[in-house]
């Protein structure tokens, strides 16, 4: 059974939040999130563990009651129309919530029956693509195999909006690529995909636009290109002889020298750094992507997040024209 958007209104945005709050006694939660996710967009929701990503998602799905503000998914209000919200969404939680005493096929049938969907939907096609075995009981499967079954269950009813919380946990690289291809195909079919992650690289591979949340507050909403240009790189360089004074190079910080090997962080255009390195004799060079926390520090080094950071300005950073 399909539930479309409310009669007489085609929502401009697939997901909308207005000053949404869900606050816990320990100070954690989400503190006034305002955000718009466009129809047909693959949107990344980034943040370290504990930043408020899962709280946001569970509040959108009606699994948590907000303390203030409001939100809509596919035009449906998350409080008044919570059943409709869950019917038009495909949800993949960060921790596998399927019944381990049941097989994948039994979990699938149960999920589709609850949604009022007859048959098995797209399950066979999805299972074949991902290499998911739906026959064994889930307790007999590895974590990665369970995750593949969970993806099949989340997508089988052909939802309008996919909400995926840490979706690639436990998947090997080849399955991840297949999964990413599936998501791009869903986007091409007009579906909206909201991906929560603390892994920057996988979001970069899919998303055109991202929001960064830290301590329950949006600190950036921007195009992936803009985020990429602001990234920090970690370098490990082995020099021949005495290393140069790397700490004096523009953009270099956090220098750690161990004999002829120097480790440091670099923020800025890569070409000037390459020219400096080319003038030196080196025997080894490793360049690593930063952790998401390092990206945060590169963006926001001036004071606590809760002091005036809002994400509203980021909403003006340009319209989205489709994920990458």
Measured CA to CA in angstroms, residue 244 lies from 90, 108, 285 at distances of 54, 61, 15
Q: Is 264 within 8 Å of 251 (Cβ atoms)? A: no
CA pair distance 84, 315, nearest whole angstrom = 27
Topology given in CATH for the domain delimited by 13-228+300-316: Rossmann fold (3.40.50)
Q: Is 19 within 8 Å of 161 (Cβ atoms)? A: no
Question: Quick check: helix, strand or coil at residue 119?
Answer: coil
Here the tokens at position 205 are 């591979």
Q: Where are the domains of the chain?
A: 13-228+300-316, 232-288
Architecture of domain 232-288: 2-Layer Sandwich (3.30)
CA pair distance 146, 220, nearest whole angstrom = 33
Let me know the angle formed at the C-alpha of 206 by 195 and 318, rounded to the nearest 5 degrees: 85
Q: Is 158 within 8 Å of 116 (Cβ atoms)? A: no
Give me the pLDDT at residue 270, please: 85
Full pLDDT tens readout for the chain, 324 residues? 444 445 445 568 999 999 999 999 998 999 999 999 999 999 999 887 888 999 999 999 999 999 999 999 999 999 999 999 999 999 999 888 899 999 999 999 999 988 888 888 789 999 999 999 999 999 999 999 999 999 999 999 999 999 999 999 889 999 999 999 999 999 999 999 999 987 777 888 899 899 988 889 998 898 887 776 666 788 999 999 999 999 999 999 899 999 999 999 898 888 999 999 999 999 999 988 766 556 656 655 544 444 444 433 333 333 333 343
Instruction: State the Rg of the chain over Cα.
Output: 22
**Please, what's the b/e burial string for 136-150 (b: 16 or more CB within 10 A of its CB; e: otherwise)?**
eebeebeeebbbbbb
In this structure, the number of other CB atoms found within 10 A of the CB of residue 28 comes to: 15
Q: Name beta bridge partners: 285.
A: 237
In this structure, the number of other CB atoms found within 10 A of the CB of residue 32 comes to: 18
Global pTM value:
0.75
Q: Is 226 within 8 Å of 295 (Cβ atoms)? A: no
């Amino acid at each position: 059974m399909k539930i479309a958007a409310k009669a007489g209104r085609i929502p401009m945005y697939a997901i909308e939040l207005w000053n949404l709050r869900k606050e816990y006694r320990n100070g954690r939660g989400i503190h006034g999130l305002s955000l718009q996710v466009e129809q047909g967009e693959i949107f990344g929701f980034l943040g370290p563990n504990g930043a408020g990503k899962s709280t946001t998602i569970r509040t959108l799905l009606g699994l948590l009651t907000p303390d203030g503000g409001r939100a809509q998914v596919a035009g449906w209000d998350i409080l008044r129309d919570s059943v409709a919200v869950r019917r038009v969404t495909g949800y993949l939680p960060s921790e596998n919530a399927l019944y381990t005493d049941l097989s994948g096929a039994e979990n699938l049938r149960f999920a589709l029956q609850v949604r009022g969907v007859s048959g098995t939907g797209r399950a066979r096609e999805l299972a074949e693509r991902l290499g998911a075995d739906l026959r064994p009981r889930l307790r007999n499967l590895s974590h990665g195999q369970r995750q593949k079954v969970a993806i099949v269950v989340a997508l089988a009813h052909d939802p309008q909006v996919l909400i995926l919380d840490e979706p690639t946990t436990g998947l090997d690289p080849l399955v991840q690529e297949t999964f990413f291809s599936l998501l791009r195909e869903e986007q091409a079919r007009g579906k909206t995909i909201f991906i929560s992650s603390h892994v920057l690289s996988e979001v970069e591979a899919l998303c055109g636009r991202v929001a960064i949340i830290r301590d329950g507050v949006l600190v950036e909403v921007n195009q992936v290109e803009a985020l990429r240009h602001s990234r920090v790189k970690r370098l490990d360089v082995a020099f021949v002889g005495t290393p140069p004074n790397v700490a004096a190079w523009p953009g270099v910080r956090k220098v750690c020298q161990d004999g002829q090997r120097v480790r440091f962080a670099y923020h800025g255009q890569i070409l000037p750094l390459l020219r400096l390195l080319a003038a030196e004799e080196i025997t080894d060079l490793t360049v690593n992507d930063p952790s998401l926390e390092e990206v945060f520090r590169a963006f926001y080094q001036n004071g606590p997040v809760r002091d005036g950071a809002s994400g509203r300005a980021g909403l003006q950073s340009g319209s989205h024209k489709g994920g990458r």
